[in-house]
Amino acid sequence: MDPTATTGIPAPTFFTHVDRALASRRARSLARTLTDPTYTIDRDFASNDYLGLAHSPALASAIHAATVAASSADGTAPQPHGATGSRLLSGHTPRASALEARLARLHGAEAALLFNSGYAANLAVLATLPQPGDLIVLDEFVHASVWDGVRLGVGRKPNRAPRHITVPHADVSAVRDVIVAERERELADGVARPCSIFIAVEAVYSMDGTVAPLRELVGMIEELGDVNVHLIVDEAHSSGAMGLNGAGLVCELGLEEKIPFRLHTFGKGIGCHGAVFLCSAAVRDFLINYARPLVYSTMMPTSALIAIECAYTFLEEHADQLQRDLQLRIATFSSACSRYPSLDLVPSTTHIQGIRVAGGNAAVVRIARDLREQGWYTLPIRAPTVPRGAERIQAIMLYAQHPATKQHLFNDVLAEVMLKFVSIEKMTLTLLVATQSLLDVHEILGRDVLNGRSELKSTRLRLGLAAKNYCVNGDQKDVLVPMRSLIGMLKALDFMDPDENGNKSRDRWLASQFFDLHPWLCGQLYYMLLQLATDTIFSPESPHRLLM
């Protein structure tokens, strides 16, 4: 109820702020919404279920059997449905300790500590480990949870907060320069004890699919001989998908002893929920005492622990085959895309793939929506999540959800997605330029009938430049043709005369201009141009007809 209707008191400004903030996001094509799934799992190109474990009937059966077995011997005292409290209160169980010990062994770590999510783990680690005066070096593309962890640390002790600096993505030299500069500053200032420097990176980056140069980073740190530099690697997108038994990239590279701080999440390649931080026993105890997101959060229930146990047991037997299948799908995707040279692929060798889209947030949102309406689940990645101009449709390569699914069926599905995408993308590019150019023509003619010719020429030249910019290489000739046709239309306005009837000539002329258009684009552009031209330029009642 509007409070002003009964009390005369102005409405709360908070709700006005809410309305304006949401309207601003919608205007910039940045509004987030919750969408009920309308797709089948074999058309899922957006989820993080990289190995298909979240949909595995075999794993589901194993989890069910383990849950039943977790009851007492007579089956009358099942595990509680909830965790009942935080881990420091009533939420701790021997099962949690056993799972942590198992995960520490699997990943070659001294100790492990469970968290409710990867976000909570990053929040806890980055807000707790760096101390006043320490320095955090962040790759510019690290996850938002890392940034929020840094901010939480600053908020807790603003006058004595750790410092942080951002470096270009995957730039080992830039990281080295920061370390060297910090040590030189300390020497010049006569600092008695060097600060700790924490370098935060992701094993596989969630937007570009790039792999962190971990060997190079470790080598650089060893070359400097600086024991106070520590790598923190977020393995959210490599867990399950890489390494023996799904142990991740660090284990795959044999760097377990060189990188003691690692985060693995269970909600992606592992197909469950939660996360684990790998560290020393002392650091584990430190986090238990000081990490607020752990201390004040309810522990995950036993059912979640059982699911994680079963997932890793499943991976012990199947990880190698699942990873090979995943690599095969990555190769299939690259091969399918190579048939369409105009696609602007994000360079990636991992399961995180993307196709960049020109036209900004509005264009990429529209394409993703059109694909979803056709039954394909894809997501638009918009600025500022990625840099402006790098908006893309993300395509996650997933393990075939059903064991009986054949490779050729996956190829057919992928080819259909690509064909749809190519058509939509090229139409979007062309219509954006053509529509703006026609609006320019309309505005010029409506503003100045007698002196409009020179500005029409300027518009024509500008359109030619736009066509050149969009069609830099010969692979996009089918986009260049309709733009040249529009340029021809503008040239013809300088000397064309209408016939006596005023109708047939213009239709024949427009039809001839579009004779060479790509079949997919012909109907769309012809209708748009004919409609606007008929309404604003060729109408017998219009004074614009004098220009012809």
Q: Domain coordinates of the chain in residue numbers?
A: 36-54+317-418, 98-315, 421-547
Helix (H, G, I), strand (E, B) or coil at 279: strand
C-beta of residue 54 within 8 angstroms of C-beta of residue 269? no
Q: Which two tokens stand for residue 59?
A: 């794993």
Tell me which residues of the chain have a pLDDT lower than 50.
Answer: 1-2, 4, 402-408, 411, 427-428, 430-432, 438, 441-442, 444-453, 469-480, 482, 490, 492-548
Q: How far is CA 58 from CA 29, 393, 482, in A?
A: 41, 32, 53
C-beta of residue 309 within 8 angstroms of C-beta of residue 106? no
φ, ψ of residue 369 in degrees (nearest 5): -65, -45
Helix (H, G, I), strand (E, B) or coil at 292: helix
Pairing of strands 352-356, 197-202: unpaired
CATH of domain 36-54+317-418: 3.90.1150.10
Single pTM value for the model: 0.75
Q: How far is CA 422 from CA 143, 385, 414, 528, in A?
A: 30, 23, 12, 21
* Alpha carbon distance 488, 236 (integer Å): 54
- 3.40.190.10, 3.40.640.10, 3.30.390.30, 3.90.950.10: CATH of 98-315: 3.40.640.10
HEC profile for 433-470?
HHHHHHHHHHHHHHHCCCCHHHHHHHHHHHHHHHHHHH
Give one DSSP letter per residue of 387-420, joined into a string.
Answer: -TT--EEEEE----SSTT--HHHHHHHHHHHHHH
pLDDT value of residue 237: 97
pLDDT value of residue 92: 94
HEC profile for 493-526?
CCCCCCCCCCCHHHHHHHHHHCCCCCHHHHHHHH
* Alpha carbon distance 62, 315 (integer Å): 12
H or E segment to which residue 320 belongs: helix 302-337
pLDDT value of residue 349: 92
H or E segment to which residue 306 belongs: helix 302-337
C-beta of residue 124 within 8 angstroms of C-beta of residue 118? no
C-beta of residue 274 within 8 angstroms of C-beta of residue 280? no
